[in-house]
Homo-oligomer: A and B are copies of this chain.
Amino acid sequence: MPPAKPSTAPGSPRAGGRVTLRDVARALGVSVATVSNAYNRPDQLSADLRQRVLQAARDLGYTGPDPLARSLRRGRTDVLGVVYGAPLEYAFADPAAALFLGSVTRAVQGQDLNVLLLASPHAAPCPSAAANHDPTGPVRGASVDGFIVYCTAEDSPLLRAVLERGLPTVLVDQECHEEAVNIGIDDAGGAQAAATHLLSLGHRHLGVLCLQLSEQRASGPVSPAREAQVSYRTSSQRLRGYRAATHAHPEVTLHPTEVIHNTPQAGEALTLDLLRSHPDITAVLCMSDVLAQGALRAAASLGLRVPEDLSVVGFDDLPGSESLNLTTVWQPTGDKGEQVGQAILTLLAGHPAPPVTLPTRLVVRGTTAPPAPQPQAARD
């Protein structure tokens, strides 16, 4: 006969205390060690007894060793904390983040590690509510073996909280900290290549669509003061790269603007603003392909041809960007996830892991071309 429905045989479900290893041991008249061994080291008891133990467990509704207690005793949770410096929805909505998180997960999954998502909660609508609720709570209280930190500002409380835990930690695209290993890409180099490409095509007035610059979200033109204190390394490095390219051309003007969210909509709106206030702009440097997509839409809605009337360069080289024929800076997003996974595994194994900087590469496609012959004539 098939075994009777095991779960909670007598009484109502989840009535009374739960069944423990000791209950099983008692029911069978063996020691708890034996029951534990039945689950963890089959070679330590006879096959016969093991079967009897397992059967008794089923009969009693014992669902196996409690993971918590096991972790405590073993000193290991097999969980990795992935902290994401923004509300989780953005991670799901941002293709680059999604790609990266997916590849990280795949990399560690093979080692039986699970991923605990620790996202920055939404900024509370009212400041008072924000004040009395500590966003670092989850990070400080997470039962994990190590951390991966993605997309936080340098001065983020979240990042600080992670570092304070003193667990093996991998930082992604972040300023180096001695307590953690950093894995990133050559943001500045890629950005510089993108800007240089435009300059060598003859562009002299460039718009820049920036990703978020600091924890306080802001939208619109970036003042020099704000540019001086960018706290997201990704943004600061890319901006620096753009600027570096212009050093050889003092006559070039750069108009950085900041988006609140990394969405095509935001990119579109900002591009419209940019072109309205600076009609001499002939090319737009975007810190992400998603923003570039918005810039393309803006151009279309203004009746501007790309690349004849407006050049657009992205960053990331998302899977979809090839079909948009977008000139962009490629970065090894998937590979980065892989490396991060490897690094944290190495760290968890007790070995030191070296920091890694992955290369970026300009991919010239169809959204860039020399500017129209006489842009000056179109002034104002």
Contact = CB atoms under 8 A, between A and B. Distances in A.
A72 interface: yes
Size category of the binding interface on chain A? 35 or more
Contacts of A72: 66, 68-69, 72
B109 A102 contact: no
Interface in A119-176: 119, 121-122, 137-138, 140-143, 163-166
B119 A138 contact: no
A166 B117 contact: no
Could you say how many copies of this chain the assembly holds?
2
A67 B13 contact: no
B179 A77 contact: no
B93 A166 contact: no
Contact of A138 (B112, B163, B179): B112
A98 interface: yes
A346 interface: no
Contacts of A97: 92
B67 A68 contact: no
Interface of A: 6-8, 13-14, 61, 63-64, 66-72, 77-79, 87-89, 91-93, 97-99, 101-103, 105-106, 109-110, 112, 114-119, 121-122, 137-138, 140-143, 163-166, 179
Contact of A7 (B6, B118, B137, B166): B166
Residue among A66, A105, A163 facing the most chain B CB atoms (10 A cut-off)? A105
Contacts of A140: 64
23 contacts: A6-B164, A61-B166, A63-B164, A63-B166, A67-B143, A68-B71, A68-B143, A69-B72, A72-B72, A77-B143, A79-B143, A88-B101, A88-B102, A88-B105, A88-B115, A89-B102, A92-B98, A92-B99, A92-B102, A105-B117, A115-B117, A116-B117, A143-B143
A163 B66 CA distance: 15
Contacts of A101: 88, 92
A106 B77 contact: no
